[in-house]
Structure 1
Amino acid sequence: MWTIYAILIYAIAFAIDFIAVGPPAVVPPWWEAVILAPLAEEYVFRVLPFSALPSPLSWVFAVVIFGVLHKDNPLLASLYGVALSLMYKGGGYPASVALHAFNNCIWWLMAAGGF
């Protein structure tokens, strides 16, 4: 069930992001956006808090702190954080990295003019 909820919330976050914000103006290197950021951020914001903190604090860190550190749109980033946290709960680190990488790849392609 975690995975289904993750995909639903991700789809909502993506739709809001696409309609309200649109593709980013800056195009980072693809390997940074699609490989490095998902691997690092999912470890820091999902693996560490869910393994080291009690449940309410782990969710706050995984969602709220993740959002706050994405300064362009913290509320929207927090919604993505909910989806990524649910994916982590349902499929572990590989699943949350895969969703994060998929998301970043789509946005990177749109920003680079590939979509």
Structure 2
Amino acid sequence: MRITVLKNTATLTDLQPQGGPARPVTQPPCAFSGIDVDLAGAAPHQTGIWECTPGKFERVLPNAEVMHILTGACIFTPTEGEPLHIQAGDTLFFPAHTTGVWHITETLRKVFFIVAQ
């Protein structure tokens, strides 16, 4: 069994371009980058490091997700809820089918685990 270690993930520079949001709210749209980590025994779930430049976009991911914010700041406004001010050091647990708008105010980097449906 191989253990994956990503050193200094808050400042890691080997992130790969991953396009942008499916439903941008601002132009130009945010840019995504990251590293997907193949975690043996966790398939079909997804995990890795993800980064997003400032801007706004709709969250359309139907999956539950756990994330820990490494750097940056944002506001997430759930479709039926109050804005959540999020910053480095925060950990979030999104139930499946959570929708709303991300407003990335400072380039955001997170560790994520997406639960496949």
Q: TM-score range by the shorter chain?
A: under 0.3
Answer 1 or 2: which has greater strand percent: 2
Q: TM-score normalized by structure 2?
A: 0.25
Structure having greater relative contact order (Cα 8 Å, sep ≥ 6): 1
Q: TM-score normalized by structure 1?
A: 0.25
